[in-house]
Every structure is written in C-alpha cells, then in structure tokens.
Amino acid sequence: MIANHSSHAEASDPCVTRQEPGNESATIVAHFVSNKDKPQEACGVFGIYAPCVTRQEPGNEVAKLAYFGLYALQHRGQESAGIATFSGETVHIHKHMGLVSQVFNETILSQLTGSIAVGHVRYSTTGSSHLANAQPVVVETRLGSLTLAHNGNIVNTIELRQKLEQRNCNLLATTDSEMIAHAIASEVNSGKEWLEGAISAFGSCQGAFSLVIGTPAGLMGVRDPNGIRPLVIGILENHPQRYVLASETCGLEIIGAEYLRDVEPGELVWIAEAGLASFHWTPKPDKKLCIFEMIYFGRPDSFMEGESLYSYRMRLGRYLAQEVPADVDMVIGVPDSGIPAAIGFSQESGINYAEGLIKNRYVGRTFIQPTQKMRETGIRMKLNPLKDVLAGKRIAIVDDSIVRGNTSRLLVKALREAGATEVHMRVSSPPVTHPCFYGIDTDSQDQLIAATKSTEEIEGQLGLDSLAYLSWEGMLKATGEDPNSFCSACFTGDYPIPVPEPLKRSKLMLEKLGRVIN
C-alpha cells in the first residue's frame, strides 16, 4: 500500500519551466551552475532500518535521518531527491526535482513515518532528467511494496527491458533502476520470497549497481559482482538493531552512525528483525572499484580503502610533483576537488601553496538561463581569482582531471588576466580518453579532449605554458592497494564488464578510426 505519494509536479513547483512573456531569454528553468568539464556522478543512495523507536522519539525519525544522510551525499546528485518510508505495510514517499533542502521541509518529513527509510539523490545517466525518473522507485508485489534506490548503470538494458515487457511489466520511467525493481518484483510475483527473488533478478543484471532496497520485511544493501560503485554499512548509536546504508561514510557520520564495513562486491546484506545477515549471491566476485570515486567523486572526508580520500588525493599530488615537477613561484589548486592534490604537490616540491582562486560556495543552482556571452564568462560565478596574490607570479595550478577542457581554458584566461606571468597545469590523474558505461555521465569519445588531441595540442588550446598528467601507474600506486582491484577504463579503455556493441558504438566513436591519443 502506498500513501502520501507526493511525487507529482504541481503548479507551484519551482522546478517547472515557465516562459516569461516578451522575454525568451528569461525562461526560468531548473538550471545547475555546474562544472560540465567534470564527470558527473550518477547518484547517492541511503537506507536506514530503525525499528526500535521509543515513545519519546517522533515517528518520522528515520525520515529525518534519511534527510540528513542525503544532505551529506548531495555532491553525488543534484537533479532530484526522494525518500520512501515503511510503516508496516504502508509506504510513504515524497520525491521531486531539486536539491534535498528544496524538496523536503518539516511538514513533508512529518508525513514520512515508519521504521525503514530508503533515500536517493540523482544525477541522470540512464534516463533523462524528469520527475518520472526520480527515485526511489516503488513497485508492487504479492508480498507488498518494494522501494529501490540505485547508483550505477547496467549495460544490458535492451535485453532486460525486452524480457520484462514479455512478462507484461508496467514500465513507467526510462531508467535502468526501474527495470531492476521490476525484475525483482517479477521474481517475487512468480512465487519466490524477497531474498530468493532479489538474488534471481540480479543474475539478469549486468553492469554496475549499488542498491538500497526497502520492503515491509526488511532492508537490503546490494553491490554488483565487481563493486564498481561504493556502499557502506553503519550502526546507529551502537544499537544492534539500527543499521544504516550509504554510498559514502560521510552519509553515516552526519547522523552519528559508526562505520562497520563496506558491502562487499557480489554481496547482499539483509537487515531485518533478526539483525544483519550476509549472502554472497554471485560465485565469482572480482573487485573493480571505480578509481574516479577516489580521485574526484567522493567527499574528501569520506573513507575508502581504509583512509580518507583527502589523504589519498594529497598523495596523488606528491606523486605528481615527483613525476612532473614545475619551475614556478606558487602552487594553487582548483577548488574544491583539486586542493588536496595541490597541497601534496606543494609539500613534495617545497614550492609555496596559496589560495589563488576563491570559490563562491553559495552558488549552486540558478533558475535563470544565461546568454551565450554570460556562459563564456560564467566561471566567475563560481571561481574568482585573487589578483594581488597572482600578479607577477609563475603559477602551477593543480586539478584532478580534464575532460572536455572548456572550463580549464576559461580558468587559464582568468589567471592570466589577474596578472599571472606563467600558467602551468598539473593534473592528478591520467588523460581521460574513454567514456564510462558504469554510472558516470561522460561524453561520447569525440568530446573527450585527450581522445582527440595530444598533450601538446591540449596545452596550446588551453593557453598553458605547460601541461602534464600523473601517470596511470602513479595513480594506482598511490592507492596502496592491488592495482587490479580498480576500474580505470576511462583512462585505458579496458572495460571489466563486457559492453554490448550497440552501447559501445554510441560512445566509442573514435576506436575504429584509431584516433585515441595515448
């Protein structure tokens, strides 16, 4: 049973496009001021199982905890947000386009009662950015409602969709996440129980999927056999019956939950009245954590592979300084993701670090569509150079990646206009030459600047005095882990999960032409 299903777009919804009469350029849209030159993460997932709510605690406690968990994971997706809660057999759900703080308020959260919650923040990679594709997904089964939040992409969507349509599944959205939910529902409706049905459905899904799944009987956390996208387990207030699932540890810490461990590749954890049970649903797990999670996506205070991502990124900067030093007066970082590597570069090289760019942290979303001229200078909305710091200086600017290069070009121009006499760029990852099929929204290959141009050509296009990247070997060595336990396909084209040819052809436009620059 579904109650309070408030996912429809209302006339008062600030994310509904409106046309101002007589001024086409004033079309108000849900427009994100984001760095389009960076890879965009698919989403963040969150779940909580807390049946032991005392009489002193409000019935919407799990919804509030989910709200703050999603707030901490907001960097993983800014297009839509949603929370579904279970109160017995009844599901309460609210999801809308927008940021977590825009989608929820005290009144809405007060209606999301229960002891189980599933939450999601989304950036679209499969399925367009529309309300119908917002999550959690809710489907009905013979055992009751199922709610699902998904991070990643499956690659066999065409095959799976055909299979579900043959079973007369009512697919309403255009996402692979909905297909996973219906695949589970179909198995359950055929007579299987929750766990058996879920495990059977996962066998039909190929690709990357970290899932949080709510049912009236309990909460599931699941990772694909390669564990490409992260998922962690926490315990709330040291209580043996209150468990939390989140894409990153920062989603645990904000609500005072203690990190227990990661959900392992190919593992399903089932959290119910009896506690937490673990099932390894695939016979051949082969860990391939996305290396970009560590380089860029994860919050620097999140822990992966036993340490904070801040520490890893500082080490990348140290290795970068060893491999490709720069004869400069000052090291600066691109806020925020390039700063830890810039500090590491400074410490290793002995060159002073300074803040040469100030980020406007209150610019995150605007409803006004800028003109093309405004877009060309739009980087100033987020990053503003400090002229008195930069004037007359030779600068090494450190960033975590270059994808298309448009923003980097504007940034270099702004640094020169601020008085920098030389601008050298050092990148704490290798050149991105291949698109991702596992949950990162990267362009087709012909839009990736390093796939079509040499380092020297990129250097000229960006207006740099020099450009150098960290080596692939250095990037993996800095993890301190087995290099084979990471997916680095965006740098090498070595995809750990086979990608169907039609999907490959849609993005790998240059392979047959032999134009990839190594």
Which residues are known catalytic residues? 43
Contacts of 487 (CB under 8 A, 6+ apart): 226, 228, 288, 289, 290, 291, 438, 496
Task: Look at the block and give the residue holding tokens 């797990």.
Answer: 285
Q: Is 267 within 8 Å of 78 (Cβ atoms)?
A: no
- 3-state per-residue secondary structure call for 245-266: EECCCHHHHCCCEEEEEECCCC
CB atoms within 10 A of CB 79: 22
Alpha-carbon dihedral sign for residues 261, 263, 266, 270? positive
Please name which of 145, 90, 144, 82 lies closest in space to residue 115, comparing C-alpha atoms.
90
Query: In whole angstroms, what is the distance from residue 277 CA to residue 63 CA?
Result: 24
Query: In whole angstroms, what is the distance from residue 169 CA to residue 386 CA?
Result: 57
Strands 232-236 and 243-246: antiparallel
Q: Is 368 within 8 Å of 413 (Cβ atoms)?
A: no
**Element (H or E) spanning 70, and its range?**
helix 61-72
Query: In whole angstroms, what is the distance from residue 191 CA to residue 203 CA?
Result: 17
- Helices then strands (H, E): number in the chain? 18, 28
Strand partners, 43: 122
Q: Report the b/e string of 156-175 with b at 16+ CB within 10 A.
A: bbeebbebbeeeebeeebbb
Structure tokens at 198: 């879920």
Q: How many CA atoms lie within 13 A of 455 on its CB side?
A: 14
Query: In whole angstroms, what is the distance from residue 405 CA to residue 468 CA?
Result: 14
CB atoms within 10 A of CB 368: 12
Contacts of 490 (CB under 8 A, 6+ apart): 39, 292, 432, 433, 434, 435, 436, 440, 442
Q: Is 138 within 8 Å of 175 (Cβ atoms)?
A: no
**Element (H or E) spanning 401, and its range?**
none
